Chains A and B, each alone.
Chain A
Amino acid sequence: MIEVRDLVKKYGSHKAVDGVTFSVARGELFGLLGPNGAGKTTTIGVLSTLLHADGGQVRIGGHDVAAGAKEVRRLIGVVPQEIALYTDLTARDNLMFWGRLHGLGGAALGKRVEELLVMADLVDAARRKVETYSGGMQRRLNLVAGLIHEPEVLFLDEPTVGIDAQARSRILELIAQLGRQGLTVIYTTHYLEEAEQLCDRIGVIDRGRLVALGDKESLISQIGDADLIRLSLPADRHEAFRAAGAGWPGCTGIGERRGKLEVRTPDGGRLLPVIQEWLRANDLPLEQLEIERPNLETLYLTLTGRGLREDAP
């Protein structure tokens, strides 16, 4: 359904997207994971015909987004990160307007608006101005406004930014429902758990480059099932710890992040007693020691050396 080949987008001399390649099958829920400034929104901008690419090719439903923007726009719906609605109007007014803009009218438009109000659970609030809604309600309306013309592909650009856990859960439920209905979805986020929970496949993007691509299991397998043991030590003991760790069985590497030492190992349960013993022998307190099982965060850290919630430099 969507094919992206060597996509490049520059802002001046800065490459916001640098040779990104991926494809999304019809009905697939594809996640684009990366921190703020990684190039997710720019990628969505090109895919949704809002930005011209400086290189590469993007085809949606067989149409080139540059040459066939008009055809592509008929296929896609976009839900921007911002609340792209007229908040001084009611939910119904907004949906009616967006429907008319997509060529709907009469009874068909009225029926579609009611369907979407039900889907967003906003029937009771449909006659209230959107500016009086909670953040979660605004997000849900923002989402269904992108569905008014029943697109085949939906681009969701960080649709859960700035809302509480309960509201986020309802949004995710709504997106999962769309996935079950067979809609092709590209979902950008920097929330790891959202990508893990929702997406069939995930592309990890960093500094404009796609650094990993696959389903959750295959991505995690790229880091070799490594457990991560984190511990805090006085800075003057780090060198001694590294020297000792080099000889421990199962220790595949020791790194440092935000002042904490990070020990990689295939089996954290076996290495932990060895570390505890070394701490006792060196008269160091056993504080802030934790084991992290491999996940996408670990993968991202491994691939980029930075956490997902850190902004791109």
Chain B
Amino acid sequence: MNLQVVGAMVRLRLLRTVRDRGGLVWLIVMPMVFSYMMGMLMGDWSNGTPPKRRVTVFDQDRGPAVERLLAPLRAHERFEVVVVDSAATDARARALTDNGSATAVLRIPAGFSAAMAGGAKVDLQLTVDGNRLSSQTARSVIDRSLLRMNTEQAARSLVAAPGTEPARDGAAAFDEKAFAASWDQPRVRLRASTLGRLQTQDWGLTRSAQHVGPAYVLFFMLMFMMVSAKDLVQERHDRTLARLVISRAGAVDLVAGYFLGGMAVGLVQGAILLGMNALAFGLDYGDSPAALVAVVVLFAAFASSASILLGTLARTGPQADGLGSGLTMALGAIGGLWWPLEVVPSFMQAIGKALPTGQAITVFHGLVGRGWGLAETLPMLAGLALWFVAVFALAAARLRRQVSA
């Protein structure tokens, strides 16, 4: 491979991208505008301090443990706790969440405080709106608060258990059986029911920006690559490609030059947009830079290959434009870039997750919302790599055929 030729082609691609001011709008500005707009449309404000979401509490206990349970929720910056002093029914809770006036409704039955003091066991009833990401956060905060109270209750019962002898080092002897019994059968349990279609247990995201930020980075990376397929068609028509062929560039150099040129643009675009999402919307991409780099590199490689393939298939510029836009829309919508795959029926989820867009956004969801490391992302990265290899092989074969006499 002639590195000077490949380098010249990569440099040319970057130069043409930078010189095209109209293109820069689609490259950088539009993705940020879309992220901002979609962040609003999906229910959570993506920037700065989000407005507080209401959690309505029907307190039928009115005991001292209620405030301890609710304290973490009250302290949370995203929630406003409204305690309603009346008997509630499931129908009432559903009505409150259905009409949007509450993110979650918590019913604390009479006997809750007594249960925490060692009395009869009770269940708390939590109703959440599955279509609102904030409801998942409310649930996890209540879960955590309850876990703490149950653990304290178990600890107290252990300390108070008759026959326990202080250990030599001063710590109380630990009765594993008694602890296990308290742990397995807590005094108070949280029973949650979800409204709407978003009935996933591992959603993990707490803000719409965590979806729309990476989703629109991927969408516009693909879109920019696909619509630039028309450049290759143009180069074929105006004989620029012929001029490239009779230079010192061999077929392999040209394939590498086109591929790496596209990839370079995709990587620069991806890096800028991810950086801007982090700065503007406070996105945290998790603790695995390797997985983050891998998904962006593989997706850029796939997008660049797809662009070349389209450029070699389309006969005219407008045809490349139309096909490129259409394919990007389809891959974006079905692959879960427009909306999370969790909100679509399961068979569509399966299709979406098999697509390169679905695999890439699943990796991002894992990184930003589920604390995934490189190991958890490997299956999706492998799928994405397969897509890239398959599309690149087709694109390279077609381009080689076109640049060979």
> Which residue on chain B has the smallest CB distance to residue A105?
B4
Q: Which residues of A contact B242 (CB under 8 A)?
A: 50, 78, 80, 84
The A-B contact count (CB < 8 A) is 72
Q: Are B239 and A49 in contact (CB under 8 A)?
A: no
Report B-chain residues with C-beta under 8 Å of the C-beta of A83. Answer: 238
Cβ–Cβ contact B247 & A102, under 8 A: yes
Q: Hey, which chain A residues are within 8 Å of B7, CB to CB?
A: 100
Closest chain B CB from A104 CB (angstroms) = 9
Q: A49-B246, A80-B239 are in contact. Are A69 and B16 (CB under 8 A)?
A: no
A247 beta carbon closer than 8 Å to chain B: no
The A63-97 residues at the B interface (CB cut-off 8 A) are: 69, 73-74, 76, 78, 80-86, 88-89, 93, 97
Given contacts A82-B238, A84-B242, contact A73 B405 (CB under 8 A): no
Q: How far is the CA of A86 from the CA of B247 in the complex (A)?
A: 16
- Which residues on A sit within 8 Å (CB–CB) of B397? none
Question: Do A103 and B16 form a contact, CB below 8 Å, given A80-B242, A80-B243?
Answer: no
Contact B15 A89 (CB under 8 A): yes
Q: B240 — which chain A residues lie within 8 A by C-beta?
A: 84-86
In the bound assembly, the distance between CA atoms of A98 and B15 in angstroms comes to: 14
Are A101 and B249 touching (Cβ within 8 A)? yes
Closest-by-CB residue of A relative to B241 is: A84
Contacts A81-B239, A84-B239, A97-B8 known; A89 to B16 CB distance under 8 Å? yes
A96-123 with Cβ < 8 A to chain B = 97-98, 100-103, 105
Nearest CB of B to A63, in Å = 14
CA distance A176 to B180 in the complex (A): 99
Min CB distance, A141 to chain B, in Å? Answer: 12
Q: Are B16 and A78 in contact (CB under 8 A)?
A: no
| In the complex, chain B residues whose CB is within 8 Å of the CB of A146 | 243
Contact B12 A73 (CB under 8 A): no
Among A80, A83, A88, A101, the one with the most B-chain Cβ atoms within 10 Å of its Cβ is A101
- Count of interface residues, chain B, beta-carbon cutoff 8 Å: 24
Residues in A with CB closer than 8 Å to B11 are 97, 100
Q: Report if A52 contacts B (CB, 8 A).
A: yes
Could you give, for residues 1-22 of chain B, a 1 whenever the CB lies within 8 Å of some chain A CB and a 0 otherwise?
0001101110110011001100
Cα separation A81 to B249 with both chains bound (whole Å):
21
- Does more than half of chain A's interface fall in helix, strand or loop, or is it mixed? loop
Q: How far is the CB of B261 from chain A (nearest CB, A)?
A: 12
Query: Which residues of chain B come closer than 8 Å to A102, judged between CB atoms?
Result: 247-248
The reply on B401 being an interface residue by CB < 8 A is no
Q: Is the CB of A93 within 8 A of B5?
A: no
Q: Which A residues are in CB contact (< 8 Å) with B16?
A: 86, 88-89
In the A-B complex, the 8 residue pairs with the closest CB atoms: A100-B8, A80-B239, A84-B239, A101-B247, A82-B239, A82-B238, A84-B240, A84-B243
Q: List 21 A-B contacts (CB under 8 A).
A: A48-B246, A49-B246, A50-B246, A50-B405, A51-B405, A73-B246, A73-B247, A73-B248, A78-B243, A78-B246, A80-B239, A80-B242, A82-B238, A84-B239, A86-B240, A97-B8, A97-B12, A101-B9, A101-B247, A102-B248, A103-B4
Other CB < 8 Å A-B pairs besides A48-B246, A78-B242, A102-B248, 15 of them?
A50-B242, A50-B405, A73-B248, A76-B246, A78-B243, A80-B242, A84-B239, A84-B243, A85-B240, A89-B16, A97-B8, A100-B7, A101-B247, A102-B247, A149-B247
